[in-house]
């Protein structure tokens, strides 16, 4: 007659594999891609949004849904999102998962959830990151992005900054500064979503995912 321990072993193993698969099946990453699509659609509904000409001319984009910006004199930021670059044919690549972290010092009190979009002039800034990271404001600076449905809507700017930032905020802060923040490749999320150890550059270069969430994200970006 089997002991209780022997009878429980198959059950425990089954629970182990079920729980383990829940963390590696890419479901969290899939939800992150959907959230990025929602951010782009929400931006597209705004009266003043990212100019069409900016999206047309610039070659990279980072979307961070629900970036948490919190502080009491000394502040901190933490968010997870995706990065995409334009391919040779003008279409957008598959998303590479990224994290944004940083801190700031100043007269700020409160907690704010921000939908953040960064638009990059040159895609090499993102593709050269590979499996490393870089600091916004150190390695590269970001400027507040111009608004308008087209560049002709505002004649006071030229599309010359390396990175333009846009945020849709709800909370106690009036705005957000991202200079000093660190943008890093989320290798674990990439492996969970794509099922292998592709580097970020390989994901950018291939751009051939058939996942429905990726198709929706690309369509949302094209519509912006």
- pLDDT digits over 153-182, tens only? 443 456 677 888 888 876 444 456 677 788
Residue 127, H or E segment:
helix 124-127
DSSP lists the bridge partners of residue 183 as 100, 134
The average confidence (pLDDT) of the chain is 76
Q: Domain coordinates of the chain in residue numbers?
A: 26-223
Question: Looking at residue 17, what is its pLDDT?
Answer: 36
Residue 183, H or E segment:
strand 181-185
pTM of the model as a whole: 0.79
- pLDDT digits over 21-39, tens only? 444 456 899 999 999 999 9
Contact 167, 160 (CB under 8 A): no
Give the mean pLDDT of 120-140: 75
Work out the pLDDT band at 128, boundaries 50, 70, 90. Answer: confident
Contact 98, 212 (CB under 8 A): no
């Amino acid at each position: 007659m089997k002991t209780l321990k022997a009878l429980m072993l198959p059950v425990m193993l089954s629970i182990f594999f079920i729980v383990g698969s829940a963390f590696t099946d890419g479901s969290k990453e899939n939800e992150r891609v959907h959230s990025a699509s929602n951010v782009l659609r929400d931006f597209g509904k705004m009266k003043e949004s990212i100019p069409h000409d900016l999206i047309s001319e610039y070659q990279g984009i980072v979307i961070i849904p629900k970036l948490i910006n919190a502080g009491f004199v000394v502040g901190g930021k933490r968010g997870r999102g995706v990065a995409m670059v334009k391919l040779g044919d003008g279409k957008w690549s598959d998303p590479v998962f990224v994290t944004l972290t940083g801190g700031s010092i100043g007269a700020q009190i409160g907690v704010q959830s921000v939908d953040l979009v960064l638009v990059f002039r040159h895609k090499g800034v993102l593709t050269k990151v590979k499996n490393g990271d870089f600091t916004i404001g150190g390695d590269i600076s970001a400027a507040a992005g111009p608004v308008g449905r087209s560049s002709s809507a505002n004649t006071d700017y030229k599309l010359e900054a390396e990175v333009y930032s846009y945020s849709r905020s709800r909370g106690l802060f009036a705005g957000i500064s991202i200079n000093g923040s660190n943008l890093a490749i989320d290798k674990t999320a990439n492996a969970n979503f794509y099922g292998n150890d592709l580097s970020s550059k390989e994901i950018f270069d291939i751009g051939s995912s058939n996942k429905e969430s990726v198709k929706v994200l690309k369509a949302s970006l094209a519509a912006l």
